[in-house]
Amino acid sequence: MKPLIGISCCTKLFGTFGMANHAASDTYIRATDTLVGGVPVLVPANGKRADIDTLVRRLDGFMFTGSRSNVAPDEYDGPPHPEGTPEDAARDAVTLRLIRAAVAANVPVLAICRGLQEFNVAMGGSLHQRLQDLPGRMDHATPMQPNPRIRQGKAHHVRLAAGSWLHRLAGSTTLAVNSLHNQGIDRLAPALVAEAWAPDGTIEAIRAPLQSFAVGVQWHPEYDHDTDEVSRGIFRAFGQAVRARQRILAAAE
């Protein structure tokens, strides 16, 4: 039986009357279908109503997705966002609790872009709100280009920690990645380790070393897994971890 992969949703306003919907990009669904080998299950941004215990018991892995919205600064004792910064409090109320519960239960986690930021905050870390405003930092934001090849293309290299999970996966200590974010890690959570850094020192990948698979990347491997072997490898490794957990649970029954 294929594993069930929970994919975090954002609150989005759609339609003529701007009704609230729960949405996740098709890129995560396709990666789950084709590379993870699982059944995608959308996890709504239903705030405090979310039944976290049931989600962790029923689902076999979790993918925490990217988004235009920022993690609310009161979740990590940060200063208020500048006016007009998009937030999604209902998503925060689900994902931060769900990450903590999934890690505690050793359910595999793959966190991407905003998902990495949520992973760090959920485990006790903090964020910079606008990296481009910090002295000596690059502009990591999405290039405002209608052409997706430019908007989602490789933007810079990251340095991979020698001997790290990503180093072993990539077979190299450097990796070219895309860059579509404003927020970034400030204080790394105590239970996490950094595995990759941008040229300006921004942490670009994290991992919970005591878990079977709990990985976060700041870039978007779902955008180029058709052409990039490392991007494919990230999703395949997540799928392998999910199926390994399935086998362990089945053997224990």
In terms of Cβ atoms closer than 10 Å to its own Cβ (0-12, 13-18, 19+), residue 248 is: exposed
d(CA 144, CA 159): 26
Does 181 qualify as catalytic in the annotation?
A: no
Cα–Cα dist 106/118, whole Å: 17
Q: How far apart are CA 93 and CA 114, in angstroms?
A: 14
Out of 118, 195, 222, 225, the active site residue is 222
Single out the catalytic residue among 113, 118, 140, 225. Answer: 113
Q: CA-CA-CA-CA torsion for 28, 146, 198, 112, nearest 10 degrees?
A: -10
Establish whether 220 is a catalytic residue.
yes
Identify the CA nearest to 77 among candidates 134, 130, 126: 126
Residue 222 falls in the annotated catalytic set: yes
| 196 close to 132: Cβ distance less than 8 angstroms | no
* Integer angstrom CA distances of residue 237 from 52, 63, 151, 164, 251: 25, 13, 26, 14, 21
- Calpha distance 4→45 (Å, rounded): 18
Q: Which of 128, 140, 220, 225 is catalytic?
A: 220
Q: Which residues are CB-contacts of 225 (< 8 A; sequence separation ≥ 6)?
A: 31, 35, 231, 232, 235
Q: Which residues lie across from 184 on neighbouring strands?
A: 128
For the annotated catalytic residues, the residue numbers are 113, 220, 222
